[in-house]
Structure 1
Amino acid sequence: MDNYPSHFSSIVTNTSAQLSLSLLCLSLGALVTQVPRTVTAREGDTVTLNCHQKDTAYQTMLWYLQPHQGGLTLIGYGYLSNPTMEDAYKLEYEVKQTDDYKNCSLEIKKATQEGVYYCAAREGHSVRERQISRT
Structure 2
Amino acid sequence: MTTTRRDFMTTTAIAGAALMAGDALAKPATGTTAMPKLLHHVFFWLKNPDSKADRDQLIAGIKTLAAIETVRSFHVGVPASTEKREVVDNSYQVSELLGFDDVAGQDIYQVHPIHQKFVEENQHLWSKVVVYDVLASE
TM-score of the superposed pair, with normalisation by structure 1: 0.25
Greater relative contact order, per chain length (Cα 8 Å cut-off, separation 6+): 2
Structure number with the higher strand fraction is: 1
TM-score normalised to structure 2 length: 0.25
Higher helix share: 2
